[in-house]
Structure formats: structure tokens, C-alpha cells
Amino acid sequence: MSAPTSRPESLALCTFLLADHTCALPMGDVHEVLRGLPTTPVPLAGAGVRGLANLRGQIATSLDLRALLGFDPAPAGAVDASVVVRTSEGLLCLTVDDIGDVLQVPTATLERPPDTLPPALRDVIRGICKLQDGLVLVLDTVRVTDPGTSPRDAAGRPVPVDAEPRATSRPPSAPKP
């Protein structure tokens, strides 16, 4: 007889600011946090791709989390930070506005995202945690970093899951024989 599996009692979170929202990713997915990470732009990359970053000799893609989640761009000249996460494809840098604290929150305090949130944003939120000074949006690392797991438009921006498909200027490609 196997022992029943249970949810951990608490969750360690790496918090960060993004467009006036406090967001977080599970610490188990976070490799490191860096401020002012230089990136090299990639020609013809999607809207959410900021460029490539050199992490002590390892090249990693840097994604603009504001663009991926459909927020307005950061003000010109704003100094940003990067949350480097581990994915199945390797390390990935997520550009955020600022780094917060590491929080330990009881898993029982995580609530479902409300239905009033835009579906594209609700799709990437794992849960919402209420704190004394506000809410923390706990993001799902896989859904944020893998564009194939949540619906996006041709520019890579999130779209509501119930939105009508848009016509594209290119006809669909025929299946290969």
C-alpha cells in the first residue's frame, strides 16, 4: 500500500514587480535573479523576445514578461531585472520591473484567479495569495515560458481563450505527404 501524496504545507516564492503588480514564481523553478542583464537583440524575433543573454558563458533567451502578459511596455530608461528560471529547454531569463522578496506562504492561502481577470492572464496564474499589503499573483512557470501552452496572437501577445480566431495574411500550409 502506497502512502497518500499530499500537497506541501507551504510554498517558497520569488516575488517581483511587473507593471504595478506583485507577481511570484515558485523558488524551485528559479535559478537566480539579476539586475541590469545586458541582452543582444535577435532580428525578426517575436514581440516577447527581448534577446539573448550571456550567463557566465551560457547563452539564454531573454523574454519580456510585460509583453508576454499583455502589459504596456516599461517606461523608457527604466532599469529592469531578470528572473532566470529553469525550463525543460534550459535556462530562460524573464525581464521584470524589479525583484522583491522570497516569501514562504501556506499553500492553503492560494486562491483561484477570479473569473473577472482577462482569460489570457488567468491562464498563466497558478494562484493568488492575499498578504497584508496586497495580492501576489503566483505565476505558472511552464505556462509563462512556453508559448504553446497558452493562446497567443501572431505577435506573441496573449489572447482571450474565447476570442474568435483572426484571419492571417498567409494561407495555412498544406500538410506534407
Task: Choose among 135, 133, 131, 151: nearest CA to 143.
Answer: 151
Please identify which residue in the block is written with the cell numbers 502589459: 71
**Domains of the chain, each with CATH number or no CATH:** 10-149 (2.40.50.180)
pLDDT digits (tens, 9 = 90+) for 29-77: 999 999 989 999 999 988 789 999 999 999 999 999 998 888 888 888 8
Q: Which contacts of 48-54 are long-range, i.e. CB under 8 A and separated by 24 or more positions?
A: 48/147, 48/156, 48/157, 49/156, 50/93, 50/95, 53/82, 53/93
Q: What percent of the chain is modeled with pLDDT above 90?
A: 51
CA angle (146 as vertex; 166, 79 as ends), nearest 5: 100
Across the chain, which has 177 residues, the per-10-residue mean pLDDT values are 64 94 95 94 89 94 91 85 93 95 92 86 90 92 75 49 34 42
User: So what's the pLDDT on residue 69?
Assistant: 87
What pLDDT score was predicted for residue 7? 62
Cα separation, 3 vs 101, whole angstroms: 34
